[in-house]
Chain A
Amino acid sequence: DAGVTQTPRHEVAEKGQTIILKCEPVSGHNDLFWYRQTKIQGLELLSYFRSKSLMEDGGAFKDRFKAEMLNSSFSTLKIQPTEPKDSAVYLCASSFGTTNTEVFFGKGTRLTVV
């Protein structure tokens, strides 16, 4: 059984570039989440989809971050334009979205903006 798959695993971008991170959730899961992971802040929620509908879109991250879910098995996170402070690990997670089900995380994409 495939878990959550994220590509690429590493990305290096120049300041001002547009980058797109990809995520394939666990098959059959209804909920999908994007998190940003840094040493200082820990994990911060960027976006949340339920059955492909955007339920929550990031507060402080709305400005240059846009997550989309065009079908139930694929999601993207676009950062445009990138800034050095965006350097972090971006994690995608999915779950069935019902009581007492486990959330599964991908291994993440490590983004470095220079």
Chain B
Amino acid sequence: NAGVTQTPKFRILKIGQSMTLQCAQDMNHNYMYWYRQDPGMGLKLIYYSVGAGITDKGEVPNGYNVSRSTTEDFPLRLELAAPSQTSVYFCASSQLEREAFFGQGTRLTVV
């Protein structure tokens, strides 16, 4: 029972590089979310999806893109990495009116 799997766990990017953070869930959940957590802060919602083919912006979407071509996968794309995107990124999934399950996080550093 894998739950929510995030890859990679750690990554260092140079300014201007791009990368994709992968997120996969095996619970057949309709809802998926991407959050970032800066040191000493709460979780800020970047993007979320209520089902395959549907995505919506959260609180801090600038600099990111997402897609949801399948129920299982919800990748987060950074096109032009900036130091302000240094953070820990968490992916989560849930059903409506139920708790969300989180992945272990991806620690990203942009230098």
Decide whether A and B are members of one complex. Answer: no
